[in-house]
Amino acid sequence: EAPKVSADEAVKFTNFLLSRKHTYDLKSAVYLVSALRILGRNSVQVPVAVTTEPQARIISAQKPSLKIFVSNVWGDTLKDMHLVAETVKEQSSTAATFISNQPFKSSSEAGMFEIDLMSAGSKLPRGFHVVKINVKPKTGAAKYVGLTGAIVPVKVITKVSVTDMDLTVRDRDQNVGGQVYKIIAGEKLSSTMKLGSHHRIELRFKLLDVQTNTPMTAHQVFVKWMHSKTGQEIIFIAEPDKANVYKFGMDIETKSKDFDYLSGTYSVDLIVGDAFVGNAQAWTFADAELKLPSGAPQAQAAGKTVAGSKRSPRIGEGPSKAKPEIKHVFKKPDKRADPLIAQLFTFICVVPPFIVMLVLWTNLNVNVSNFPFTYLPVYGFHGGLILIAGLYYCYWKFLNMFQTLFYLFFLVLFTFICGLLLLRRIASQRQSKS
């Protein structure tokens, strides 16, 4: 009997289950596998799965084909299928369509289909694209669901080449002329450039999309200077103009502070990278001997320069030595008073109040005749109180907190028992008199 769900509902339910396939709960995994097996191996409604490996979604001129595997959700190969790429366009709502209703070709592997996305009539530009695929069964089409509108994202990459690259060295007060070095991509100038604080350099080049033979821009274009002895680097960004011509200019005297005023031989590298470029560029195109002014040794030592604030160690120092280990030091205790003065102060704090207490007891006619001198717990109770006070003194002089708590436990227990026995005797005496 056919289930009481529509084809769209079956597709949505299947997509819901597949979104939970990365479960780590054993019970949930068993239910998921059971449901997918039922969906894939029934004779009424079989959802069709259009899948591809992540690496297969990267398209280039060297790997122009997109390979698609058609199966049910259980992974069984579906035979007698015909695939059509309904549309291939860039990943935006207003993008133009590059391919329309182009059929896939069957591969030698069962259930595998492929399409050439870089053919002469439909060469895709670099960027993200989406392929909308329809599946047409040759037989038994009634039992299959999810045959139309399968979306497969692809990424088209290209190769980049550096062209029209030249480096001009002129005096800083000149706008034209100067010595021009023509640089070939991947090669290095045979001679070392001599640059002083009175020079200004300007680097110009273009990035060419090899696939379309048109100028392009890249996300990351840097010019790196590296000192030959210290190995420290400073990197500048090359920016394109409106005609997509990259330029990098540097006034040696103005940028001296970025080099921490360190003269010497530097290697100059060009670095080009982009998410849609398959052959990132990075090579040393020149060596330059910089003679920089030594006008800011104080700033260099204090780390106040632009480069010094961004790097550690600074460019002129090389690797720094290990810093000394940080050890925690407790505050030294304050100096104690002279023992004679301390004892005199203790005597003044203890003896006079005790004498005052005895005088007050005499004036108030305090009756101590009922003190049970023959009952031992009374001595234990009062002695325990005195010992607790003495332990408090020892805590400040000799003991730590844990030792004090250990001794205090037994003293409190002994004092408590003696006090309990003393209170019981007093209560019994009062009861016998009444």
Average pLDDT over residues 351-357: 89
Can you tell me the distance from the alpha carbon of 263 to that of 376, in angstroms, rounded to the nearest whole number? 94
> According to the model, what pLDDT value does residue 99 have?
87
Could you read off the pLDDT of 312-328 as tens digits, one per residue?
Answer: 444 445 455 778 888 88
> According to the model, what pLDDT value does residue 1 have?
63
> According to the model, what pLDDT value does residue 244 have?
92
Could you read off the pLDDT of 151-209 as tens digits, one per residue?
Answer: 999 999 999 999 999 999 998 888 777 889 999 998 999 999 999 888 999 999 999 99
* Residues 6 or more apart whose Cβ sits within 8 Å of residue 100: 86, 87, 88
CB 258 within 8 A of CB 316: no
Average pLDDT over residues 417-422: 91
In this predicted structure, the answer to whether residue 310 has a pLDDT above a threshold of 50 is: no
Can you tell me the distance from the alpha carbon of 297 to that of 262, in angstroms, rounded to the nearest whole number? 10
Q: What percent of the chain has pLDDT over 70?
A: 91
> According to the model, what pLDDT value does residue 314 have?
45
Q: Which of 45-54, 131-140, 257-266, 356-365 has the lowest mean pLDDT?
A: 356-365
3-state secondary structure of 269: strand
CB 100 within 8 A of CB 86: yes
Confidence of residue 427 (pLDDT cuts 50, 70, 90): confident
Pairing between strand 81-90 and 144-145?
Answer: unpaired
Average pLDDT over residues 256-277: 91
Could you read off the pLDDT of 110-123 as tens digits, one per residue?
Answer: 889 999 988 866 67
- State how far Cα 276 lies from the chain centre: 24
Average pLDDT over residues 418-425: 90
Amino acid identity of residue 7, one-letter, is: A
One DSSP character per residue, 45-97 reads -EEEEEE--GGGGEE-SSS-EEEEEEEETT-PBPPSEEEEEEEEEESSTTPPE
> According to the model, what pLDDT value does residue 54 have?
81
> According to the model, what pLDDT value does residue 408 have?
94
Pull the structure tokens for residue 28: 């949930």
pTM confidence score: 0.62
3-state secondary structure of 234: strand
> According to the model, what pLDDT value does residue 220 have?
93
